[in-house]
Structure 1
Amino acid sequence: MEIGDGGTASVEFYNMCYNNGKDVREALLKYCELDTLAEVMIVEKLKGLI
């Protein structure tokens, strides 16, 4: 897919957000889960240095 103008970009962004909303939500939740786990692991390592 090629996007060549702002109007098309807006439509595709809308489609991405609203037509695949469940898929996007699940992917974001998984990303947040992994990001939070990484932060917990960093804090635990830092606690071990104190």
Structure 2
Amino acid sequence: MIVLGVILLVIGLLAGISLLTTIGGILAVVGVLLWVLGATGRKVGGRAHYF
């Protein structure tokens, strides 16, 4: 999720498409948030890992 978000963010910035930039930024932030919660040992959605 983080990698996809960063890829969409870069493509959106290079192509000048604000929708891709927004979606990429949101995916990257949510991915990092889930990664941090999983790394601290909290269960996310009833699972220890979200992937």
TM-score by length of 2: 0.47
TM-score by length of 1: 0.48
> Computing the radius of gyration over CA atoms, which structure comes out larger, 1 or 2?
1
Question: Which structure has greater helix proportion?
Answer: 1
| Structure with more relative contact order (C-alpha pairs < 8 Å, separation 6 or more) | 2
